Amino acid sequence: MSQIVQTDRAPAAIGPYSQAVRSGSTVYFSGQIPLVPATGEVVEGDIAAQARQVFDNLKAVAEAAGGSLDKVVRLGLYLTDLSQFAAVNAVMQEYFSAPFPARSTIGVSALPKGVAFEADAVMVLE
């Protein structure tokens, strides 16, 4: 049986989806963009500021599901400008430590609300 994960410490869904869904010991996260939970507005600043907000949002959802970023086994990163890849990597290392999760990084033409970065994740709780 699946459980919906929801927290006010991450932005509310802006469409017909849940922040995350837990099925057994696996939690599937919806994509997070750099929205400030309290305002629903895009965080101000450069790609590093956007990445920090996205990872803060993922962290909040992970904690609401009973886990932490250390339990994330896979990340999907989506950038509108792949030249920002190194900056996102640097911020990622502030939130994740070895052994790092599996990851894909995909260049996309556009993201919701005109942001430059989005991430989704899969977490396994043991």
52: containing domain: 2-124
CA distance 80 to 5: 28
pLDDT of residue 126: 85
| Burial (CB count <10 Å: 0-12, 13-18, 19+), residue 11 | buried
CA 33-39-41 angle, 5° bins: 45
b/e 74-107 (16+ beta carbons within 10 angstroms → b): ebbbbbbeeebeebbeebbeebbeeeebeeeeee
Local structure of residue 125 (DSSP, 8 states): -
Mean pLDDT over 25-47 rounds to: 97
What is the CATH classification number for the domain harbouring 34? 3.30.1330.40
pTM for the full model? Answer: 0.96
pLDDT of residue 1: 81
Over residues 101-117, the mean pLDDT reads 97
Using the predicted structure, report yes or no on whether residue 2 has a pLDDT greater than 90.
yes
Segment 53-93, tens digit of pLDDT: 999 999 999 999 999 999 999 999 999 999 999 999 999 99
Q: Is 18 in contact with 30 (CB distance < 8 Å)?
A: yes
Total domains present in the chain? 1
Asked if the model's pLDDT at residue 51 lies above 90, the reply is yes
pLDDT score recorded for residue 17: 96
- pLDDT tens digit string along 90-107? 999 999 999 999 999 999
